[in-house]
Amino acid sequence: MNETSGGKLQEEKLVGRTKHGELTLDQLASIQPGMARLMAEVGHRYSMMIHACKGGNWELGHYALRQLRGIFLVAATTRPKYRTELEAFDREYLGPIEKAIREKNVETFMGAVERGIAESDEVHRRLGYAFIRYRLPARPPDNLDFGPGSES
């Protein structure tokens, strides 16, 4: 707070400067991605992870899982009311998926993935979004090689 010439306190605005102009902290906060944008990215990474591991590219699958967890951290920060669900899902569903990836066990991996999908649908239902139900796309995206990775 700064004091003005009239003796009143004036609130300072934190400003970030770029070559394009200035943004206040409030402006930066208001443009953080919402859950819809973040969950679209989560769905993409989850699909990529599944197709990669099923195709034998365990490195890519593990990379997608790490990226997915990073998105969860952003979501828990920008939308703290979902933090409990995100942390529980990571612990109870992504943990076993990661273990199966490290073991390169397709059967265990697919079981963990299917449990994660069922729980995702249940979490959406509990939160009032029962109309959101994740389904694995039948075909992987064709912009990446989902076959065995460099570790093979």
Which tokens sit at 93?
């569903």
Q: For residue 27, what pLDDT is reported?
A: 86
What is the per-residue pLDDT across 88-137, written as a single tens digit (0 to 9) for each?
999 999 999 999 999 999 999 999 999 999 999 999 999 999 999 999 99
Q: For residue 94, what pLDDT is reported?
A: 98
Domain locations in the chain?
35-126
CATH architecture of 35-126: Up-down Bundle (1.20)
| Beta carbons within 10 angstroms of residue 63's beta carbon | 16
Read off the DSSP letter of residue 13: P
At 143 the three-state DSSP class reads coil
Tell me which amino acid residue 97 is.
I
What is the per-residue pLDDT across 16-27, written as a single tens digit (0 to 9) for each?
888 999 988 888
What is the per-residue pLDDT across 53-86, written as a single tens digit (0 to 9) for each?
999 999 999 999 999 999 999 999 999 999 999 9
